[in-house]
Structure 1
């Protein structure tokens, strides 16, 4: 059985998939407690139902899309995450996993398919990324809040990921002061030779879940 908080169809509001229609699977549980978290119900220990992986996929199929985002909470807390992702991919889905990057599951290595994307959004105060996760990260996304500094974005762990690509800067809660901070960080990154893209939480602007 797998613990699922919600399953719904919407438009991706964050990161490189922004604006695309997508089916969301929100799994239960999180190992962090970010003060600005906008989905605390994902780890309250009561806002979930338990269903089988196959039943979950059947629910997703009802939305008629072939693009799925698995999020949380923290999806890597769910032991069946690799099984879920692999079964979706075998049925023709493109799968995005959103993670804070602190955890790892060895079975992810078994999924050898270009249809799996992993977005890592490191969180304060340490901005730790599990070493074994690093080679599998497709996208780095940083919430621009009071804690974020340039050294959290550019360091020995991250430069190999964002080489020949760009890092996503997401102003916390779409606050004006965080947008201004994101612009300053973007300029600082540009001077160092690195590209970044400022993307707000567009689903909130659109009034979508």
Structure 2
């Protein structure tokens, strides 16, 4: 039976083309799908408009596919807010994969969708950016994480990175240290954390928010 692509709807704040400004995909051209809603309220969040409940349109799968096709790219980043706050996120990801898109998901790591266990893991790149003060990560998400991105702020310390629940999932070059708002003092702290990680035999990358340096969304 042919799927009804208009049956499922999603709260979409915006869809736009830019370059990936954070993490290991930095610099690559990407179509961003920003979904509405988040379960956290981080003090330094740079997209608070994504969770006020006032700035979204209800779009179907067909609507979303029609919009992203305009950009002639096969790389899509689903962001927010918090993507996993959208209960039918797996339906969107499944349809993107079926249409030959590589899917990148940026998540705070606290939520999970069990239906992801039925999706093609090789087509999904998940960046987990755990948030203070507890840096909690849902244990069911961990096997699917491709990259751990830690915002280096006043709270972050080595104990939030090297810990019992993460140690088997942290591999060489899977950790990104992102200085908060590109502040010089946080760049210095990131360098110190990078040295501490080397003591555990783990190489990490320090990557600022490059889209802000470039003046891009």
TM-score (norm 2): 0.94
Task: Determine the structure 2 residue equivalent to 1:89.
Answer: 97
8 Å CA contact 2:106, 2:126 repeated in 1:
yes
User: Is residue 2:50 matched to residue 1:42?
Assistant: yes
Q: State how 1:111-130 maps to structure 2 within 5 Å.
A: 111-130=119-138
Task: Determine the structure 2 residue equivalent to 1:174.
Answer: 182
Alignment partners' CA distance in 2, 1:35 and 1:139: 23
* Offset at residue 86 of structure 1 (A): 1.0
Aligned counterpart for 1:137 among listed residues 142, 145, 149:
145
Alignment partners' CA distance in 2, 1:195 and 1:159: 14
Number of matched pairs: 209
8 Å CA contact 2:30, 2:73 repeated in 1:
yes
Task: Determine the structure 1 residue equivalent to 2:85.
Answer: 77
Task: Determine the structure 2 residue equivalent to 1:147.
Answer: 155
User: Is residue 2:195 matched to residue 1:197?
Assistant: no
Alignment partners' CA distance in 1, 2:172 and 2:157: 21
Alignment partners' CA distance in 2, 1:44 and 1:115: 31
In structure 1, the gaps of 5 or more residues are none
8 Å CA contact 1:139, 1:161 repeated in 2:
no
8 Å CA contact 1:67, 1:93 repeated in 2:
yes
* Offset at residue 58 of structure 1 (A): 1.3
- Which aligned segments of 4 or more residues in structure 1 are displaced greater than 4 angstroms? none
User: Is residue 2:196 matched to residue 1:183?
Assistant: no
User: Is residue 2:68 matched to residue 1:64?
Assistant: no
TM-score (norm 1): 0.97
Give the secondary structure class of the aligned counterpart of 2:115.
helix
